[in-house]
Amino acid sequence: MGRDPVCAALGLALAVAYYTAADALPRSLLADGVGADGVPKLLAAVLAVLSIALGARSLLVGASATAADDPGLRRHLRALGVAVLGAAFVGVAPVLGYPLALGLLVLAATLYYGAAPRPQVVIYAAGTAAILWLIFARGLGVALPAGLFG
Amino acid sequence: MAELALAWKALASSWAVPAAFLGVAWGIVGGALPGISPSIAMALLLPFTYGMDPVAAIVILAAVYVGAEYGGSIPAILIRTPGTNAAAATVIDGFEMHRQGRGGEALGISLVSGLVGGLFGLAVLVLATGPLARFALAFTPPAYFALGVLGLSVIAGLSGRSLLKGLIAGILGFMIATIGTDPVSGVARFTFGSADLLGGIRPIVVMVGLFAVTELMVQVIEPAWARAEAHAARLKLPDWATWKRIARPQAIGAAIGTFEGVTPGAGGTIAAFLSYNEARRWSKHPEEFGQGSVEGVAAPECANNVVTGAALVPLLGLGIPGSNSAAILLGGFLLHGLAPGPMLFEKSPEVVYGLYAGLLVANFAMLALGLVILTPCLWLVNRPKPYLMAFVLALVVSGIYALQASFFDVGLVLGAGVLGYALRFFGIPQLPLVLGVVLGFLVESNYRRALVLSSGDHSVFVQDPISLGLLVAAAAIAAFSLRRELGLARQERAASP
C-alpha cells in the first residue's frame, strides 16, 4: 500500500480526535458568537475533507510514494533514535545536572552517528559539554540544573 | 534622511556591526557543511539571540542567511556536494572548473557574484518594503484577517507537487496555533491540564524542531559526505576580463532573483536554476556551459544572493514569510516581541533601518570573511560527520532549554522533529505548517475581533475595500494553484499505464 492512503487515514483520525476535543471545551461567559471551539471545529472539518480527498485521489490516480522507495523500518527506527537520545537527556538532566547529562548526550550521539569507540570520543564529549556550559551558564547567564553537583 | 540617521544610530548604538560579521562567519561555516541549510544555521543561532539587543539579534540572523548562500557554494565547487539547495546549480560548472584546476577562480567568482547579488537584493528590499508597509498601515481587523488568509493562500505556492498535502500541512500548523489560552474568552484549549501549554507553543520551538531536529534524524541514515582537498583551494578574485564576461549573467541573476525572491515559495533554488538556464540562453559562449563556464557560476550565485534581500520584502512589509529562512527570521522578530508588518515601521523603525544597514555591512563582511575563512571551512568540512552532528544536537537542546529554562520546551522541539520526519515520510511540505503556526493566531483573533465589532455580521469582510481586495487576491492565488494541481493530476493520469 502507498503512503498517501495511510496519510489520509491518519489525517481523518486526527480530525475526529481534534473535533471531539474541541467539542469538550468548556463554555465561557465571556465567549463571543464564534466561541473557543468555533475555529477548531472548522479546522477539524477542513482536515477531514482534505484527508478524504487525498485518500480518494490516491485510489483514483495511484499512490505517488510507495513502499518501493521506503528506506525500511530499521532506518526509520534508527532516525527515531536521535529523538530518543534527546528524550533521555530531558529525563536525566534534572537528576545528573546539565554538564554531565550533556556530556553523556554528546558521547552517545557521537557513537550513534557512527564514530568508533575511542578515548578521543570521551574527550570530545567532555570538552563540548564544558564549552556549552561555559557559553550558556557563564556567558548567557542561563540557570542550568546542577543535579548531582548542586 | 531621517531613515539614514536611524540606520546609522542603530548601527552605532548596538552590537549590529560585530553581529553582522559573526552572523556571516557562522553562515559561511554552516552553509559549507552539507546538511546544514541556511534556515538550519539560522535556527541553531536563534536561541542565542534571546538576550541580545533586538537590532543586533535581527542583523545576526539576516547575516547568517547572507553568509550561508556563499558558504553553500564552497563544497559545491570543491567536492561536488552543494552545501545548500540553492548552490546545486553552482555544482555544474563550479566543480568542472575545480577539476580543471580552476577551483580558486570559481570560488572568487562565486564570492563577488554573491556580493553583487546581495547588494542588489538589499536595494530591492529598501525600495519596495516601505511603500508596501505604508499601504498596509490602513489595515483594520477585517483587513488583518484577510491579510492572514492571503498569507495562508501562499501555501498553494509552497506545496510542491501536491496542493492537498500543502493544505493539510497548513491546517496542522493552524491546529498547533490554537493550543493555549483562547484569545477572546480566555478558555484553555487543548492544554490537557498542562500549565506549560497555557501560553501556547512558541513558533520558534516548532521551527527548530522541523528544520534542525528533523535534519539530524535524516542525517543519521545518510552516508558521510566526501572530503575536500585543502591544497586545491586558493581563492582568486576575477580579473577585469572576467568581470566583463560575468556582468551579463549577473544582471540576469539579479532580475530573476528579484522576481523569485519576492514571490513566496519560489526561493533561491529555483532562482539559481532559472538564472543558469537564461544565462546559457543569452551567452555568447553557450557551448562552455557544463564545461567549466565562469558565467555558469556567476548567474546562479548572483541570483541566490539577490533572494536573501528580496525574500524579506513580504516579511517586513506584510509579515508573511515566503521561505524557510524568512520564517526563521520571523521567529527572531517574535522572540523579541516584534511583529513584522506595517506597524513595525511605526513602532520600531530603528529595527527596520538597523536591519537594512546591517545587511549592507553583512554583504561587505561576506567579501572580507570569504577571503580568509576558506581554510577553516575546509577543515570543518573534513571533520568526521558524527562529531559535527553530535555537536549540533547538543546545541539544539541547550539553545531551546535556554529560552525559558524549560525541559518541556526541549521535549516539544524533539516532538516537532519527529513530526517533521513523519511529514517528510508522507511527502508533506514543512513550510506550510510553519505558516499555519505563525499566521493562525493572526487569522483567528482578527476574524473574531472583526465579528465582535460588527455584531456578528460577516459582510464586514467584503465591505472593507482593503479586506475585499486581499480576499480576492487570496482567491485568485488559490484558484491558480488549484488549476495547476488539476493539470498535474491530468498529466499523471496520462502518464500512468
| Mean pLDDT, residues B36-44 | 82
More confident residue, A64 or B494: B494
**Which pLDDT tens digit goes with each residue over B412-455?**
999 999 999 999 999 998 878 888 887 888 888 888 888 888 88
| Mean pLDDT, residues B203-222 | 86
- C-alpha cell of residue A97: 545536572
Separation of alpha carbons B146 and B338, rounded Å: 21
Domain boundary assignment for chain A: 3-69, 73-149
Inform me whether the pLDDT recorded for B403 exceeds 80: no
Inform me whether the pLDDT recorded for B232 exceeds 60: no
Q: Cα separations (Å) of A55 from B170, B415, B497?
A: 18, 26, 20
Residue B68 near residue B38, CB atoms below 8 Å: yes
Mutate to test the interface with A, among B174, B178, B182 (most CBs of A within 10 A): B182
Inform me whether the pLDDT recorded for B264 exceeds 70: no
What are the beta bridge partners of residue B180? B189
pTM for this model (two decimals): 0.77
Query: Among candidates B221, B288, B342, which has minimal Cα distance to A78?
Result: B221
Q: What is the pLDDT of residue A107?
A: 96
Candidate from B189, B216, B427 with C-beta closest to A82: B216
Q: What is the pLDDT of residue A70?
A: 65
Mutate to test the interface with A, among B387, B451, B485, B488 (most CBs of A within 10 A): B387
Query: Which amino acid is located at B377 in the chain?
Result: C
Q: Which residues of B touch A99 (CB under 8 A)?
A: none
Q: Apex CA B430: angle with CA B207 and CA A67, to 5°? A: 130
Ranges A23-27, A90-94, B83-87, B282-286: which has the least confidence: B83-87
More confident residue, B234 or B438: B438
Q: What is the pLDDT of residue B440?
A: 86
Range with the largest mean pLDDT of A64-68, A118-122, B134-138, B457-461 = A118-122
Smallest Cα distance from A83 to chain B, Å: 6
Inform me whether the pLDDT recorded for B120 exceeds 90: yes
Ranges B66-70, B108-112, B338-342, B374-378: which has the least confidence: B374-378
Which residue do the cell numbers 525500511 mark? A72
Report CB contact under 8 Å: A65, B426.
Answer: yes
Domain boundary assignment for chain B: 2-495
Indicate the angle between helix axes B385-404 and B38-45, nearest 10 degrees.
50
Write the DSSP string, A26-80. PP-TT--SS-TTHHHHHHHHHHHHHHHHHHHHHHHH--SS-GGG---HHHHHHHH
Report CB contact under 8 Å: A125, B390.
Answer: yes
| Mean pLDDT, residues B355-366 | 91
Interface of B with A in 14-53 (CB under 8 A): 48, 50-51
Mutate to test the interface with A, among B162, B172, B187, B219 (most CBs of A within 10 A): B187
| Mean pLDDT, residues B289-312 | 90
**Mean pLDDT by 10-residue block, N- to C-terminus, for chain A (150 residues)?**
87 96 84 84 95 89 57 88 95 92 95 92 94 82 77
- C-alpha cell of residue B480: 491558480
Q: Is A76 on the interface with B (CB under 8 A)?
A: yes
What SS3 class is residue B180?
A: strand
Inform me whether the pLDDT recorded for B497 exceeds 60: no
Inform me whether the pLDDT recorded for B114 exceeds 80: yes
What SS3 class is residue B181?
A: strand
Ranges A95-104, B47-56, B133-142: which has the least confidence: B133-142
Percent of chain B at pLDDT above 70? 90
Ranges A20-29, B136-145, B249-258: which has the least confidence: B136-145
Inform me whether the pLDDT recorded for B488 exceeds 80: no
Q: Is B375 on the interface with A (CB under 8 A)?
A: no
- C-alpha cell of residue A139: 556567558
Q: Which residues of B touch A106 (CB under 8 A)?
A: 390-391, 393-394
Q: What is the pLDDT of residue B157?
A: 62
Q: What is the mean pLDDT of chain B?
A: 83
Inform me whether the pLDDT recorded for B478 exceeds 80: no
Report CB contact under 8 Å: B178, A39.
Answer: yes
pLDDT band at B208, cuts 50/70/90?
confident
**Which pLDDT tens digit goes with each residue over B306-360?**
988 888 888 888 888 877 788 889 888 988 888 888 788 888 888 888 899 999 9
> How many C-alpha atoms does B275 have within 13 Å on its Cβ side?
41
Nearest-Cα residue of chain B relative to residue A7:
B426
Query: Which amino acid is located at B410 in the chain?
Result: V
pLDDT band at B247, cuts 50/70/90?
very high
Q: What is the pLDDT of residue B193?
A: 86
Residue pairs spanning A and B at CB distance below 8 A: 193
**Which pLDDT tens digit goes with each residue over B404-416?**
888 999 999 999 9
pLDDT band at B496, cuts 50/70/90?
low
Which residue do the cell numbers 531621517 mark? B2
Smallest Cα distance from A148 to chain B, Å: 17
Interface of B with A in 216-255 (CB under 8 A): 216-221, 224
Indicate the angle between helix axes B54-71 and B324-335, nearest 10 degrees.
160
